[in-house]
Structure 1
């Protein structure tokens, strides 16, 4: 499923390098792509033929409101509810119905879901607690990909209001680009 997304960081290196000079909030120890910043998520989107792949990487704080292991019933319920939302990508990403996109595969990963923490997910916060990220990978098959002109991220921002900005890296029929979205500017054009 990740064959297209694996090429994305390499393809967008020129954008990333140029953007890094403008971004003073990135984590120097981990580079621009590895920064963990509350309120900010990353989305990689690749449209190749009939396949649309989406990879969302977000601090857990943006989605569930905390990053610690869920031990209380309330925290466990919140994690479960967020996982259920993430399991429905067609409700989070606004795609033209005429494109006929249906989900082929998905993979959700996070220490909060009981997955082992990745090396880059175990960063110590300056206050001594662990960072936890939530990663969601989706593969969609679109019967009419030519009708897929944009992705509307407004439903994602609405579902997770603590997410203030999504940095998007996109490869589509019109080439590659990187852009920053917000609740007020939530459309991403291919």
Structure 2
């Protein structure tokens, strides 16, 4: 019986640590390169992007949500890849349990996200790029800090066919670099 309890405890602790903690000012990026496709997944507290974590109240907050979505939909200006890699943005998907898909510029209706604890809503974003020369890709400059000053740091995980790397980005250290060998 103790062995079953220990296994359950280990599994529960592993699952709890798998999801990033919701901390205002800190976003999480998972970056992967597979073949010629660069995928970037972001999770950020809405507070870091908007200053609030709920459905917008009034026209001014609706405008802030639309402005945030507009910035993120131009992901090729937010994530600057090595020019020689020839990466071009191919898709963007934004979702939040606190914001309607229409406000985020989503055209297809997706199932509602699981409810988050009151006052702690996130934005989940998926960005996909096609790279003409993925072997030349060796850096990404992250421009989120300029558009979202409440964002203080980004925990980044990078996976390529030849490399796994973790980094912490900030407004003074916005570039992740690696060897393109």
Q: Equivalent residue for 2:57?
A: 71
Q: Which structure has the larger Rg?
A: 2
Unaligned runs of 5+ in 1: 1-28, 125-129
Q: Equivalent residue for 1:141?
A: 130
How much does 1:117 deviate? Answer: 5.7
Q: Equivalent residue for 2:162?
A: 174
Separation in 2 of the partners of 1:162 and 1:32? 24
Separation in 1 of the partners of 2:29 and 2:173? 15
- Greater helix proportion: 1
Residue in structure 2 matching 1:123, options 117, 128, 146: 117
Unaligned runs of 5+ in 2: 1-14, 102-110
> Any idea what the Cα deviations from partners look like across 1:138-185, whole Å, max 9, x if unmatched?
1110001122111111x2111111111100011014311212111111
Q: What secondary structure sits across from 1:79 in the alignment?
A: helix
Q: Equivalent residue for 2:104?
A: none
How much does 1:30 deviate? Answer: 4.0
Separation in 1 of the partners of 2:112 and 2:122? 9
Structure 1's 161 and 185: CA in aligned 2 closer, same or farther, altered over 3 A? Answer: same
TM-score for the superposition, normalised by structure 1: 0.75
Residue in structure 2 matching 1:113, options 93, 99, 119: 99
Separation in 1 of the partners of 2:19 and 2:171? 21
Aligned residues: 156
